[in-house]
Amino acid sequence: MKYPNGKQYSSAGKSPGTNFSQGYSNRGMTLEEDINATNTFYLDTDRAVIHKKPTPVQIVNVNYPKRSAAVITEAYFKQASTTDYNGIYRNKYIDFEAKETKNKTRFPLANIHEHQIAHMKSVIHHGGISFLIIRFAVYNKTYYIPAESFFPYWDQQFKKDGKKSIPYETITNEGYLIPFHYQARVNYLAIIDKLYF
């Protein structure tokens, strides 16, 4: 391959770890970045209105070195956040948590907090749709897990000899693989359509 200036492409100059045979989804994007891009696509195409929830922060100190460059030097989380994303799709309230793990064999339940589970249960109780999106970074595979399917695994950890994680095989069998798409990188609405509409 030649560049527009006529020079030949050489793989010797590429940065370490770069693999040009990888798919677009392997180019360093995090799950959060992929979901944010997906949500922007949904908004731009008028499919859904779903946003990342801001984390409530109490600002304590601000440094003003000059008028146009205020710097927050001290701040604290006001309260524990609930889930990562919420919005509306086809007249249904949508609320979900997104987690990425580097673990190859299991999803540690320590990645989720009790107040998040309580929030998801409340969303379902009131007729909303709640779920988790879990990405296994090592395999670059992303799964949709309905909250109702996740709750039994969460609850069993508190029993005697309860497991503190969900095996990867269980997630692949009980979850829904979300294939990568160019614009809707994490097209979770396709799964929601199949499950609810």
The response to whether 74 counts as a known ligand-binding position is: no
> Largest alpha-carbon pair distance within the chain?
68
The response to whether 97 counts as a known ligand-binding position is: yes
According to DSSP, the β-strands at 57-63 and 92-101 are: unpaired
List Cβ neighbours of 149 (8 Å cut-off, separation of 6 or more).
174, 175
The response to whether 82 counts as a known ligand-binding position is: yes
Between CA 41 and CA 49 the distance in angstroms is 10
The response to whether 116 counts as a known ligand-binding position is: yes
Dihedral sign, CA of 68, 73, 76, 77?
positive
Binding site: what residues are annotated? 82, 84, 97, 116
Residues contributing to the annotated binding site for Mg(2+): 82, 84, 97, 116
